[in-house]
Structure 1
Amino acid sequence: METLSPNAAANESVTPAPQKKRGRGAWKTILQQKYLYLMSVPFIIWLFVFNYLPLMGWTMAFQNYKPAKGSYLEFSEQKWVGLENFIKLFQDDRFYLVLRNTLAMSVMGIIAGFVIPIAFAIFLNELKGKFFKRTVQTVSYLPHFVSWVVVAGIVTKMLSIEGGVVNDILMGLGFINEPIQFMAKGEWFWGIVTASDVWKETGWNAIIYLAAIAGIDKELYEAARVDGAGRFRQMWNITLPGIRTTISVLLIMSIGHLIGIGFEKQFQLSNSLVTDYSEVLDLYALEYGIKISRFSYGTAISIFTSVVSILLLLTANGVMKKLTKESIM
């Protein structure tokens, strides 16, 4: 009988398993979970069609696109201009004014839209009466389902100089002698948009924090009470650290959307007197791109927004990972 040397025996004992077995194991898992994979197919198709396929339209930013000459994918028909549209974008003084408005409202929205829902969720969690607690929660998130068209009408009416509730209260308390035209003051527009957004979304944004708070071990609170900790100390030392991961993830995602804030609320609340404070990047792309058939210019604005959003997301994720060891990728 043939004998193996000690080195040969050692090499044979550490020989890795054949790759074919791993492949068969993976296919076996796929076959066992085939219905789960089949359920995900419609969502993958939706993601590809509506999120990745439209990226082919980015080629318009590097063309002098003319609809009459055919599709933007018909490269031989369209005139290529390179970075000309981006150069025009960065040379336009209006672009920097719009960028200022976008960043200002985004930062104010992130600060107020994070601090207030977190505080609301924590204090709501401290309520003892279940009926009252559920009633407050239901009433608080109902505005989320109201369209910005309706919300803008409510806000405009409340701030009106004729029968506006806010002016009536201020005059009744003696703070002012005549009504204030809130909607005509550009420097107040950012605050009005932020306050409206907070009122509309606070209850809805608090739901995820309430879910995170519900996952905290109740024994931690019991131990804290035994040690003599009051309710505020429990909130500071147990509740907030318990939802730190949720806060970090949502903050990173919010920073990623810092300049892609949409335009619905600004469009609905704006008027000709506050345009210099209300116009954001998406409205700028609509007004100076799509409406006047400058499709290539509008596409360049959208590319700028997308690229900066990705860079902000990666930067925020990296900084948060170093500071708190939390990240989304």
Structure 2
Amino acid sequence: MKRNWPLYVLCIPSLAFVSIFAYGPMVGLLMAFQDYKPWLGITGSDWIGLDNFERIFQYEDANQAIVNTLIIAVSKIIVGIIVPIVMAILLSEIRNVGIKKSIQTLVYLPHFLSWVTVAGMMIDLLGLEGGINHLLTSLFGIEPVYFLGDPALFRPTIVISDLWKNFGFGMIVYLATIAGIDPSYYEAAEIDGATRRQQIWHVTLPSMMPMIIVIATLSLGNILDAGFDQIFNLYNPLVYSTGDIIDTYVYRSSLLNGQYGFGTAVGLFKSVISFILIVISYRLAYKLANYRIF
């Protein structure tokens, strides 16, 4: 403590921020076990035990929100792992540094845009009178498609838009991994007569595998996080059947419908499951790829 006290002082603002905005509000988790009434407060509301949690599995719309969350989140995880790997390999094969850097910048740029901005762009492009429908109608004579209002198309639209926004960040990680591969492996493979495709298959991919395992296992912790910001800015009552996720359901149940206790119970249920999955994912990452934070 005496030797490192300046470092502890630097940690004080972060600790204060976490304490006030992360741990302080956790007192509100008591509402999950109450028939919470705002005018009575936490101390005056009746305790009902686990009734709110039982209602999660009794309400059809709550169960549907859980199913939607799993489908959307798993789809995002699978696509979000495969596409960055492929793009990183393809980009690493480009020898022109200028072209390589330009492509890298273009695909990474959307990561810095907020979902409010991206949602506005998507509504303009995918609306009934948007640019995409205008092209479909004028070039192919297809009737306008309501991408954000059709339950069958909403999930693919969400997954593809999330991929467009975020795959550049994942690609950077894999590019760094490829850059760290010993060039002598490629030289030995080339001497043995391996083509570029064979070098990718037998040198690049095996060398990337530890990082792929780490990213894949750590993604398990996000299996119940389908992206509130994205869904909230894009969904509407027409697509609740396929687009309503746990976080948006909690928002509507608690803040809009006044069911604060039930909404808190749903959120707590998700948090506990996510915590368990995070612990499991870190254990798997340590066992499979020797990855550890501490």
- TM-score (norm: length of structure 2): 0.89
Please give the per-residue CA displacement for 1:134-193, whole angstroms capped at 9, x wherever unaligned: 100111111112222222222233233435335525752x4x543333333211110000
Alignment of 1:35-114 (within 5 A): 35-70=6-41, 72=42, 74=43, 77-114=44-81
Q: 1:64: Cα distance to partner? A: 2.0
Structure 2 unaligned segments of length 5 or more: list them. none
CA distance in 2, matches of 1:243, 1:47: 35
CA distance in 1, matches of 2:279, 2:199: 34
Q: 1:216: Cα distance to partner? A: 1.9
Alignment partner of 2:200 out of 235, 244, 257:
235
AA aligned to 1:309 is: S
Aligned counterpart, 2:272: 307
AA aligned to 1:114 is: I
**2:136 touches 2:144 (CA, 8 Å); kept in 1?**
no
CA distance in 2, matches of 1:171, 1:304: 49
Paired residue secondary structure (2:238): coil
CA distance in 1, matches of 2:180, 2:23: 36
CA distance in 2, matches of 1:118, 1:249: 13
TM-aligned CA distance change 1:206 to 1:226, over 3 Å: same
AA aligned to 1:134 is: K
TM-aligned CA distance change 1:34 to 1:227, over 3 Å: farther
Which one scores higher on RCO, CA 8 angstroms, separation ≥ 6?
Answer: 2
Aligned counterpart, 2:154: 189
- Max radius of gyration: which structure? 1
| Matching of residue 144 in structure 1 with residue 111 in structure 2 | yes
Structure 1 unaligned segments of length 5 or more: list them. 1-29
Please give the per-residue CA displacement for 1:185-223, whole angstroms capped at 9, x wherever unaligned: 211110000111111111122112222222222222222
Q: 1:287: Cα distance to partner? A: 0.6
Paired residue secondary structure (1:184): coil
TM-aligned CA distance change 1:228 to 1:187, over 3 Å: same
Q: How many residues are treated as equivalent by the alignment?
A: 293
Aligned counterpart, 1:22: none
CA distance in 1, matches of 2:248, 2:48: 24
Question: Could you tell which deviates more after superposition, 92-101 or 215-224?
Answer: 215-224
| Matching of residue 128 in structure 1 with residue 99 in structure 2 | no
CA distance in 1, matches of 2:76, 2:271: 19
Q: 1:291: Cα distance to partner? A: 1.7
Q: 1:257: Cα distance to partner? A: 1.1
TM-aligned CA distance change 1:163 to 1:299, over 3 Å: closer
AA aligned to 2:35 is: N
| Matching of residue 282 in structure 1 with residue 253 in structure 2 | no
CA distance in 1, matches of 2:191, 2:11: 49
